[in-house]
Structure 1
Amino acid sequence: MNLELLDFTRRALEQGLPRERISGALHDAGWSPADVNAALAAFAETDFPLPVPRPRPYLSAQEVFVYALMFTALYASAWNLGALVFRFIDLAVPDPARRVFHAVLMDGVRRNIAALVVAFPLFAFLLRHVHAAIDRDPTKRESRPRKWLTWLTLFIAAAALIGDVSALVYNVLGGELGARFLLKVATVAVIAGGTFGYFLADIRKDEAA
């Protein structure tokens, strides 16, 4: 958080100015709503004569471990789900120009399913654990590992969507739109788009909190 903004907010509260007036002045000065809300949220709303700071989130090794493991499980789940669907598409709509043995495809299917059986329940469990911790202590929304990894996930999902649309446009221009290609494009769009939408909504929820 910007120290200048935090210091201004503290001094304004010491003068007894209403939060609405402080917020309006900061907005008029060009500060973003998220920055203004964060600065005001740093101080508890009490009748004490001086501004009472709220406990600030700190970076712990456990927190880094939990978020790193959760997002790694997410990436593994997304990758293996996409690969699994791709293999089913190859089985359902074979490519005449590319001979792939059925046994090789089925071995890949087993690997993807095995990875999903481990990774996705782990991700779901950790996500539930994180949300429960945030419900108990809303200051955990400001966790640095959580924010950095969430934005990294948005970047990866956006990059996948851009690549997906680019491949679609390329094939449209070349007049090559087979069923296999369209199904794979749709698979990437659903997985990457769903991931992007979920975490974008999560960030907006943080900004509104």
Structure 2
Amino acid sequence: MAQRDELSIFVRDALTAGKSRPEIAAALAHAGWRSAEVQDALNGWDEMPFSPPVPRPVATVSARDFFTYALTFCVLILGAFNLVVVLQALVDLVFATGDGDSDRPIRWGVAVLIVTAPLYLWLTLRERQKLARDPAHYRSAIRKWMIYIGLLLAALTLLGDAIATIYALLTGDLTLQFIVKALVVLVVAGGIFGFYVRDLREEAPA
């Protein structure tokens, strides 16, 4: 039996025996358990006075969730990257700085978007319907990990965009064309970041 399971069972038995949470925490600390481990074990049981103690819901992990959410975010990243490529190539065309093959990335990017955009929308709509039918899916650990990985990538992209813009300003290379291309990255990455931050705020309590 894993130590985490043993700790959870001990806390359950102690609560059943009428021990208070501070007493349990003190006993576990004296035995050498770290405070974070003790708090996690106590948080696994509801504070409502009831015997036996009522367990709180825990995060779920499944291979199906990994496939679904990993596919969704890979499609999102691929589509977002190519959307930026297409928009920046269009900016180059507007400012007449593109070469003879400037429409090649546009054609490729549009081809990627034709595939990824409807696939991402379908996967997202499917997820929303599943969450609406059973809010317990909000507790999926894979879902939360993928969302936070997406937020991390979006935040790093925004950080890199800001650094590149400041560097261009300091070196005298900050042109209107550069600003527009930087805004493209800001809008796309910022939109993804804002969408998933709002998604986390609106989700049912885990």
* Residue 84 (structure 1) aligned with residue 81 (structure 2): no
Whole-Å separation in 2 of the counterparts to 1:73 and 1:125: 11
Whole-Å separation in 1 of the counterparts to 2:120 and 2:132: 18
Whole-Å separation in 1 of the counterparts to 2:192 and 2:131: 20
1:203 deviation in Å?
A: 2.1
Aligned AA (1:153)? G
Counterpart of 2:163 in 1: which secondary structure?
A: helix
Pairing 1:176-195 to 2, within 5 Å after superposition = 176-195=173-192
Matched-pair contact (CA < 8 Å) for 1:70–1:126: yes
Whole-Å separation in 1 of the counterparts to 2:69 and 2:62: 11
Matched-pair contact (CA < 8 Å) for 1:56–1:139: no
Of 172, 183, 195, the match for 1:198? 195
Residues 1:55 and 1:162: Cα distance change in structure 2 (over 3 Å)? closer
Of 119, 123, 132, the match for 1:122? 119
1:76 deviation in Å?
A: 1.1
Matched-pair contact (CA < 8 Å) for 2:161–2:186: yes
Gaps of 5+ in 1: 17-21, 23-29
Pairing 1:13-92 to 2, within 5 Å after superposition = 39=44, 49-53=51-55, 56-92=58-94
TM-score normalised by L of structure 2: 0.74
| Equivalent in the alignment of 1:152 | 149
Aligned AA (1:100)? D
TM-score normalised by L of structure 1: 0.73
Aligned AA (2:99)? V
1:176 deviation in Å?
A: 2.3
1:94 deviation in Å?
A: 2.4
1:122-181: per-residue Cα shift (whole Å, max 9, x none)?
Answer: 111111111221222222112122111111111110111011111111111122221210
Counterpart of 2:102 in 1: which secondary structure?
A: helix
* Residue 169 (structure 1) aligned with residue 186 (structure 2): no
Whole-Å separation in 1 of the counterparts to 2:96 and 2:14: 69
Over the matched positions of the two proteins, sequence identity in percent amounts to: 35
Aligned AA (1:59)? V
1:87-124: per-residue Cα shift (whole Å, max 9, x none)?
Answer: 101111123xxx611xx222221111111111011111
RMSD after superposition: 3.7
Residues 1:5 and 1:187: Cα distance change in structure 2 (over 3 Å)? farther
